[in-house]
Structure 1
């Protein structure tokens, strides 16, 4: 990345010095008695704030952690969004059970029946009017959040400069079969509805631990979600992404959407979290909030430059409580050059979904407790779903 005489930054072609991009770690990280996953989480969380990528070289690195048989790809978001980068990564992988085949991707979108119902002509006008109204409401809220409206402070709220504070990382592990069981218990629900219900319930549980009876029931906590805006959902064909004339282009093609959740004290029906999340997400899907955020971001970037665009992004992150993104991963176990691949971040993979939770450790010193709250929330929902199914039979 270079800067011209007018102060504008842009990319230029350069020679790749591979030795500056490949980092090989031969010794165990930190405490030798620590679990491998804990050591890897510590390594990733340290990378997040301790050593930014140098701008005098292309903004990517590959870390080979030999003691853990692990490959870590560190890539700046300026080079592409999660869909672009994951599509590129999986193009390099093959199925563990069939090395000649590429991994397949499982859809987590709305069901076919639900989509067919929504296309009925007798609802077109109603949905059109509702979409316009919701778009106006949510866009106004988005603008207000970008400028001054913010969540009430809680035990999980950050502070000025929190993005530079030391980090900790923990992983919440879910079985997709458990999530599907909960999904089937709530009419027309999707996996994303279940996921957000788990987040809502899990954060309520954690806040009960950190500040019992200190918060008003129904308190809103706002999340900022990244939404893929490509016409084709899920991962993309790499050849089309790299084709400059293709309608499916490489880069960042996502919008942002505000997703509010509400704190509720213990004792509520676990499935109510999913029902509330579904109702909220359905309204969000009907609006054009994510498309608006993408268009306004492009407009500000083009007309006023990166500094103002970055400031607006920073403001909306500061005014919300958490951010979330997820990427659909392969259904099968995969290999990279014949070695098992370890998935990091929030994505589905081979029948499970792993949520990596990165926190500022001065604010949330125990992210493993947050992860346990999320896992317990899903298990309680699964039990409630099984009980509901048994009562109907």
Structure 2
């Protein structure tokens, strides 16, 4: 493998594009207006939030490179964001970049690395893991659209080949990008049909569970409705106050073996993953009368507890230590696959809403040892239900947007950076197709997305697909020299919780 740089290089966030530098771009004169980069997209241009998403796909067949090129040219390369570059025509701290169309040369975006055949044959899983880890240290040319598809055409223990799609986070939020990727695939049972995503569940929380005041008993129902609104307002006020206290350094997590040191956003990352059984998770969900997300939160709490006490060697395992996670909450409806497919076919914006639109919730994880493993899920369910009766994520998104408009992107970045550095980890959970899909003729075995470039040393991500859930950990290797042991703590926690549920 070629020598790689030891630190991820950012896209240029300060450069003003002169007449000479613009001439180096093949800007398309198709009459479309330049679109401003959204506030969240501008945030991801900041050096301390130079964030990327890396999505590894396990393929069920060797890679047909010509077919992949034709497929990309007809889909992803035609999407407005994936055929544009960010150009800033102004000087100064308030300069606002815009998306400008350019010609996509697929030779710059489809990368087939020359790897050592002996290494890929001796330990293909480690070769794949090492290469994906190297993507957190390799530069991305900001004069081209900010995405790449890396082809890793050798078999591993789970797949016949793999591909890694690396994208800059300013292209869109995780939900939008996952939906766009799925819109590039087709159903394995019908190659002419787009796959289907699970229907969005009913909004949860006390406010939405109450009946509307009508007919007999309307007065009592109205009273409950008003009470629910008051509870919602109170919980939102408390959560927002805690969020801003964290962001401005009034409250912060203590330094533990789980919390990275300052500058974690600039260090290389390693991505490790494991396949979990969705049936086992649903078994616990049904037995506990909770949600899949509640079970995943409980598994995470149990796993972090196991790892913490093993690393520290503390004997008092009943001592309740709290660390907090920044939970990413999507605030837009999931883009329709047909609308996204139409957007790529036409190469123009349409009714599909696009960009970065998400807020944050601060979720506590309690590090302790329970006699009954199911208690981790019970506590997680209580926390999740409490957070569902709050508008914290909406207010955090709104406040960041207002901060950009009133004080500029630097102030918003400082606020967000404070929130990250005074919490311990990031947590994300996304739902994928319930059926197998094919990617330009290649059956997909698993989908394993991860991210890097933000100030947390640990990111926990769950991605469902068919009847499995991929657990992906993105770790700073300086803070987590034993990422596979931490991964084992997650798988063991699910097993213990599943066994305890079956005994009850």
Instruction: Give the TM-score, by structure 2 length.
Output: 0.71
1:35-63 superposed Cα distances (whole Å, 9 cap, x missing partner) = 43332222222212x12322211111111
> How big is the shift at 1:244?
5.2
Q: Please state whether the residue corresponding to 1:51 is helix, strand or coil.
A: coil
> How big is the shift at 1:238?
4.8
Task: Specify the alignment match of 2:280 in structure 1.
Answer: 178
Do the aligned partners of residues 98 and 237 (structure 1) sit closer, same or farther apart at CA in structure 2, a change above 3 Å counting?
closer
Q: Please state whether the residue corresponding to 1:369 is helix, strand or coil.
A: helix
d(CA) in 2 for partners of 1:109, 1:170: 30
Task: Specify the alignment match of 1:251 in structure 2.
Answer: 355
Task: Specify the alignment match of 2:337 in structure 1.
Answer: 237
Task: Specify the alignment match of 2:485 in structure 1.
Answer: 369
Task: Specify the alignment match of 1:153 in structure 2.
Answer: 255
1:150-188 superposed Cα distances (whole Å, 9 cap, x missing partner) = 11111111111111222222113211110111111213x
Structure that is richer in helix per residue: 1
> How big is the shift at 1:321?
0.7
1:36 paired residue among 110, 119, 124? 124
d(CA) in 1 for partners of 2:423, 2:386: 19
1:356-381 superposed Cα distances (whole Å, 9 cap, x missing partner) = 10111111111111111111111111
Contact 2:335 2:353 in 1 (8 A): no
1:308 paired residue among 396, 407, 411? 411
1:337 paired residue among 434, 440, 454? 440
Do the aligned partners of residues 163 and 30 (structure 1) sit closer, same or farther apart at CA in structure 2, a change above 3 Å counting?
farther
- Superposed CA RMSD in Å reads 2.5
2:313 paired residue among 212, 217, 224? 212
Task: Specify the alignment match of 1:280 in structure 2.
Answer: 383
d(CA) in 2 for partners of 1:51, 1:321: 26
Do the aligned partners of residues 260 and 157 (structure 1) sit closer, same or farther apart at CA in structure 2, a change above 3 Å counting?
same
Larger Rg: 2
1:290 paired residue among 393, 396, 399? 393
121-130 or 279-288: bigger deviation: 121-130
Task: Specify the alignment match of 2:238 in structure 1.
Answer: 137
Query: What does residue range 18-167 of structure 1 map to in structure 2 within 5 Å?
Result: 18-28=106-116, 31-32=119-120, 35-48=123-136, 50-68=137-155, 69-106=161-198, 109=201, 117-119=209-211, 121=213, 122=221, 123-148=224-249, 149-167=251-269
Q: Please state whether the residue corresponding to 1:259 is helix, strand or coil.
A: strand
Aligned pairs, how many?
382
> How big is the shift at 1:237?
3.3
Contact 2:151 2:163 in 1 (8 A): yes
d(CA) in 2 for partners of 1:205, 1:181: 22
Instruction: Give the TM-score, by structure 1 length.
Output: 0.90
> How big is the shift at 1:87?
1.2
Contact 2:294 2:377 in 1 (8 A): yes
Q: Please state whether the residue corresponding to 1:344 is helix, strand or coil.
A: strand
d(CA) in 2 for partners of 1:296, 1:116: 24
